[in-house]
Structure 1
Amino acid sequence: MSRSERLLTLLDLLRQSRRPVTARQLAQQLEVSVRSIYRDIATLQVQGAQIEGEAGLGYQMASGFWLPPLNFTAEELEALVLGMRWVTRQADPALAQSASTCLGKVLSELPADLADRVIHNTLLVGPISPLADDADVAQLRSAIQAEFKVEFAYQDQVGQGSQRIVWPMALGYFQTALMLIAWCETRQDFRHFRVDRLQGLTVNQQARYPTPRRVLMSQWFEQQQIPKPLPI
């Protein structure tokens, strides 16, 4: 484990503990000397970490202190890079550019050894076929955030067409399809639509749907009998 990784792990250990932790306990967990822990604590304090305590009594994170957002372990960075690479290949151009910009911000703030691991990350995303028209996806993302109603012509899997007005709630990215989850006014129930089968998509910016999206999503999860995803 590099020193940068050890410092991040040390911060995590202090954040997770509700009581002061002695340098000896920390040294045992990190498999280093007690003297190394003293040096690491001093380094973190100089860098702004609000660590309270002293040698012999133990250390803990100051109440109310939140860790900076870029305290990633090497494996967390691998997961982040892999996800960002997938987004840059699969999402619409605006979201793909945001993913690229986000990764650049992370890279610019990392310690040199971790930045090197990001640059030379070996987890790759292969060629992917587009799931839907980029313009439609961008419009749907905007409508979901603003809670606007949308209207479109839809052709189901057997070729039958219909006109729909729906309350868009979420987009589900699957390996071969992008699905819109919505409350359908025509069916008076939740419905799932393949975005590549939408035609003539129109966002009604004058009509917000009456039920908050968070409420709708809770109802949808309950109806589908699947657990709500953990926040990420």
Structure 2
Amino acid sequence: MARTDRLMRLMDTLRRLPAPVTAARLAEETGVSARQLYRDIATLRAGGALIDGAAGLGYSLTEDPALPPQSFSRLEIEALRLAVESLAGIGDQDLVAAGRDALARIVATLPERQARQAMHAITRCFPQTPHRSAPSVDLAPIRAACWDEQALLIEYVDLNGRQTRREIWPLGLSYSDQSLMLLAHCRLRMDYRVFHVNRIAAVRLTGDSFRPRRVALVRDYAQARREHANRGTR
């Protein structure tokens, strides 16, 4: 691999992986020896890259306006365009706008040739006929509760028309062209539940935190789903 490509791959790896990244992981991701990795880190630092850390501690990259702009392959640019355009078929208005703004900022940092490629990508997502009912509640507090691990009090109308009030620990939103769902741990049933967001009539933050349980709850839910699927294939 050419030296320039190797250094670019190292920069991309430092941007992509959660910091701090061990030297062993960086060497594995970039396909070089540990000795070569240390030389490449030194080269990037000499060129102005702000890389904190040391051998045995891990490394983290601090972005700086003086650094060269990040680079993407043509296929990566196509993937980004397709992902953002597909939001119009499955996302809510705030998510669609956020995706377009993020892509515009990414394109603005690309070299001129790649910026032109991003504007004229060959992949397109054709508009879909909307099938999903729009939610009647603001999604902002639901997203905030998921991010901040805060309990929610919701009023929910089930498929039989019964209205109940639930305290839940919201874990994440699931989007498709047919439905918008909220995965949560219901404190009434003390079990996982998936709620249709368009059937949530009201939502309120309670101020109660369930941090740091979200990651473990999502992991346990995913494991239970896998075990259920495995039983079904036997």
Q: TM-score by structure 1 length?
A: 0.66
Contact 2:156 2:199 in 1 (8 A): yes
**d(CA) in 2 for partners of 1:107 and 1:173?**
25
Residue correspondence of structure 1 range 71-220 to structure 2 within 5 A? 71-87=71-87, 90-128=90-128, 129=130, 132-133=134-135, 135-204=137-206, 206-209=207-210, 212-220=213-221
Task: Give how far 1:16 is off.
Answer: 1.3
**d(CA) in 2 for partners of 1:138 and 1:214?**
20
**d(CA) in 2 for partners of 1:134 and 1:161?**
15
Relative to structure 1, is the Cα distance of residues 64 and 203 closer, same or farther in structure 2, using a 3 angstrom cutoff?
closer
**d(CA) in 2 for partners of 1:152 and 1:48?**
51
What is the CA deviation profile of residues 89-136 of structure 1, one whole-angstrom value per residue up to 9, with x for unaligned ones? Answer: 643343333222211121112122211111012322333425532753
Task: Give how far 1:167 is off.
Answer: 0.6
Q: Which has the larger radius of gyration?
A: 1
Relative to structure 1, is the Cα distance of residues 216 and 64 closer, same or farther in structure 2, using a 3 angstrom cutoff?
closer
Give secondary structure in 2 for the equivalent of 1:200: strand
- Structure 2 portions without partners, runs of 5+: 11-26, 37-43, 51-57, 64-68, 228-234
Relative to structure 1, is the Cα distance of residues 45 and 118 closer, same or farther in structure 2, using a 3 angstrom cutoff?
farther
**d(CA) in 2 for partners of 1:149 and 1:202?**
9
Query: Does structure 1 residue 12 correspond to structure 2 residue 9?
Result: yes
Q: TM-score by structure 2 length?
A: 0.65
Task: Give how far 1:176 is off.
Answer: 0.5
Aligned residues: 186
**d(CA) in 2 for partners of 1:135 and 1:70?**
38
Code of the aligned partner of 2:30: Q
Give secondary structure in 2 for the equivalent of 1:182: strand
Residue identity (%): 26
Contact 2:137 2:202 in 1 (8 A): no
Task: Give how far 1:197 is off.
Answer: 0.9
Q: Equivalent residue for 1:225?
A: 226
Contact 1:9 1:73 in 2 (8 A): no
Relative to structure 1, is the Cα distance of residues 7 and 117 closer, same or farther in structure 2, using a 3 angstrom cutoff?
farther
Task: Give how far 1:174 is off.
Answer: 1.9
Contact 1:8 1:72 in 2 (8 A): no
Give secondary structure in 1 for the equivalent of 2:138: helix
Give secondary structure in 1 for the equivalent of 2:189: coil
- Structure 1 portions without partners, runs of 5+: 1-5, 22-43, 51-62, 227-232
